[in-house]
């Protein structure tokens, strides 16, 4: 569960003579793997993530998640962006349970999990706070909680800590490792920060631009530092 397979994937934006954002990319993720996708701006990291999320279609090649062809977004793939885009008129709790409510999940099914997740992301005390009352780091915590409540088998994260100050970023990196160990989801983590990639991931794929390709695929074998 949570396996990703991309084979011969290319993406051209804007017709036959457009931008070749990705060129013949092959990448496979095993269940529970934490992979960072590292590269300069414009190399196609977001394009790759958005195709796996089902937000964009590929021009060539095959993309599957848990053995099924990806054609649209789904609750099996939780997505976290740089800004959480929370609904400003809803509380932390209401934002977190919004997804399952819209999907018609019975309250008895989502409520215990949502409570557990709020505790894991350290937002217990902010159950009734509104997004405007939270710091940037806390809003990202809500974003992660919102993705996790749908019980995704993969978390797709696009520069999730890119807008945070250095200290908040460190605490969010630690939090993400805790979340990953607790829920055992596969993680695809897009970043242009090499330190962050190596700190967090078991495996770092390096991309280059024009055309976007994965040029190195490096296992990170040293254990993570304990904190
Ligand atoms: P990264 O996430 O690594 O910064 P992107 O995936 O955003 O890279 O972009 C890869 C390339 O595709 C860039 O040249 C970018 O300008 C182009 N691109 C991305 N999205 C679009 C789009 N919607 N329309 C046209 N070109 C796009
Ligand atoms: P982090 O997300 O790493 O905890 P933040 O800068 O988001 O870093 O917040 C640091 C701490 O300050 C939070 O964990 C929280 O305890 C407290 N805090 C932040 N914003 C508020 C707020 N609006 N009201 C009360 N406490 C807050």
Write the DSSP string, 177-225: HHHHHHH--EEEEEES-HHHHHHH-SEEEEEETTTTEEEEEEE--SPPP
**pLDDT one-digit tens code per residue, 178-193:** 999 999 999 999 999 9
Residue nearest to atom 15 of ligand 1 (CA): 42
Whose Cα sits closest to atom 13 in ligand 2?
A: 138
Looking at residue 224, its pLDDT comes to 77
User: Which pLDDT tens digit goes with each residue over 196-218?
Assistant: 999 999 999 999 999 999 999 99
pLDDT digits (tens, 9 = 90+) for 37-72: 999 999 999 999 999 999 999 999 999 999 999 999
CB of 138 sitting under 6 A from ligand 2: yes
Give pLDDT, residue 227: 58
- Answer yes or no: is the C-beta of 2 below 6 A from any ligand 2 atom: no
Give every CB contact of residue 129 below 8 A, 6+ residues apart in sequence: 91, 92
Ligand 2 atom with the shortest distance to the CA of 170: 3
Measured distance CA(17)–CA(22) in Å, rounded: 14
SS3 of residue 151 by DSSP? coil
Tens digits of residue pLDDT in 107-166: 999 999 999 999 999 999 999 999 999 999 999 999 999 999 999 999 999 999 999 999
Q: How far is the CA of 87 from the centre of ligand 2 (A)?
A: 19
Predicted TM-score of the model (pTM): 0.90
- Residue 31: helix, strand or coil by DSSP? coil
């Amino acid at each position: 569960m949570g396996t990703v397979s991309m084979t011969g994937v290319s993406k051209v934006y804007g017709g036959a003579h457009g931008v070749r954002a990705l060129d013949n990319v092959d990448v496979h993720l095993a269940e529970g793997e934490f992979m960072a996708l590292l590269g300069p701006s414009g190399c196609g990291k977001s394009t790759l993530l958005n195709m796996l999320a089902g937000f964009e279609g590929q021009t060539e090649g095959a993309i599957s998640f848990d053995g099924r062809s990806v054609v649209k977004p789904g609750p099996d793939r939780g997505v976290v962006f740089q800004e959480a885009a929370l609904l400003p008129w809803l509380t932390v709790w209401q934002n977190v349970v919004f997804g399952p409510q819209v999907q018609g999940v019975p309250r008895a099914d989502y409520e215990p999990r949502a409570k557990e997740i709020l505790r894991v992301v350290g937002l217990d005390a902010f159950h009734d706070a509104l997004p405007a009352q939270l710091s940037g780091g806390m809003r990202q915590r809500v974003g992660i909680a919102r993705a996790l409540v749908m019980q995704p088998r993969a978390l797709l994260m696009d520069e999730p800590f890119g807008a945070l100050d250095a200290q908040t970023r460190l605490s969010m990196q630690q939090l993400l490792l805790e979340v990953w160990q607790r829920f055992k989801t596969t993680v695809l983590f897009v970043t242009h920060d090499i330190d962050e990639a190596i700190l967090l991931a078991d495996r770092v794929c390096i991309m280059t631009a024009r055309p976007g390709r994965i040029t190195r695929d490096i296992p990170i074998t040293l254990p993570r530092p304990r904190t």
